[in-house]
Copies of this chain bind each other. A is one copy, B any other.
């Protein structure tokens, strides 16, 4: 079993900010990256929280992430822009892109910004909720290195290709953020650690046959030797796998094709082809009626009706998207976040290599 230690949220923040400055990011940049990273832990999405520091450390020290990069607008219209991230930290490119989309939405009702040559940006909902905080609909997509096998295929061709959308509502924002695969790769890692067989709709071996051994699937993905994860809907077409496959193509269209960047099947970190791509949209829903508060109220009402609808036998609660995260954040924000002790050890090693005074913050 994985062991956890509770870490003061404020201490975790200070540590991350100090670490990112040690890498050479400005104070402002360090705060931006940290905010996005810690938000994942506050939401209970450990896979995208500070445990990513380990991966980021490798990417920053190897030069995959360029600490000095300034993302650059390479094409622009009143409602759109294309940004070349120039290998910047994903969070920095993403915040800049969504801010630009929001500005355009305020001016014209709609802003769409695509980004190429970027890096991992953490949780997509961080950016869609930036738009929601400005009373706009936020949409966000990103491709990744290929992990997802097309329907009837045996070779990973599209990425995790998550799609996120946030719409303002009371008592909390509707915030959808999900991969277009059955599960993301991180979930397979958990099954490998625990030695548990995978459900049979999740993954394929190198021949495109169902495979329940997480280690085999992950090793094949890393070695690019065939197989991978099924699209949402699972294997074949019986449960709609071709629908998830299509959604993953749509994400690659909006992020990679519309930014002039690499589609998932070309991203290859080992070969130095890192540049993943994103897409950010902000839509002022006031373009659909003068009574904007009324539109928001209708959304809130619909979501409440879903939560209030009749439960399945044995179930006590129906959620709407963003609800679990909002509840978790309320609990953790002025308190503590749980961190895997192994992650903590690795963080301490990294801190030591930078002779960071904040190292002590991580001590019990």
Q: Residues on A close to B: CB < 8 A?
A: 75, 77-80, 82, 108-110, 112, 114, 149-155, 157-158, 165, 167, 174, 176, 178-179, 182-183, 199, 201-202, 204, 207-209, 226, 232-234, 238-240, 242-244, 246-247, 249-250, 252-253, 256-260, 263, 265, 283, 285, 287-290, 294-295, 298-299, 302-303, 305-306, 309-313, 315, 317-321
Contact = CB atoms under 8 A, between A and B. Distances in A.
Given A182-B239, A253-B299, 15 more contacts: A79-B79, A150-B309, A150-B318, A151-B319, A152-B315, A152-B318, A153-B315, A157-B305, A208-B310, A208-B312, A233-B233, A249-B321, A256-B302, A259-B288, A260-B298
Contact of A313 (B154, B179, B201): B154
Q: Report how many copies the assembly holds.
A: 2
A313 B75 contact: no
A201 B234 CA distance: 11
A14 to B, nearest CB: 35
A137 B253 CA distance: 10
B260 A244 contact: no
Contacts of A110: 79, 110, 112
29 contacts: A79-B287, A80-B109, A80-B288, A110-B112, A112-B288, A114-B288, A152-B319, A153-B306, A153-B309, A153-B311, A153-B312, A157-B305, A165-B250, A176-B246, A176-B247, A178-B246, A182-B233, A208-B311, A232-B232, A232-B244, A246-B321, A249-B303, A249-B306, A249-B320, A249-B321, A260-B295, A263-B302, A263-B305, A265-B306
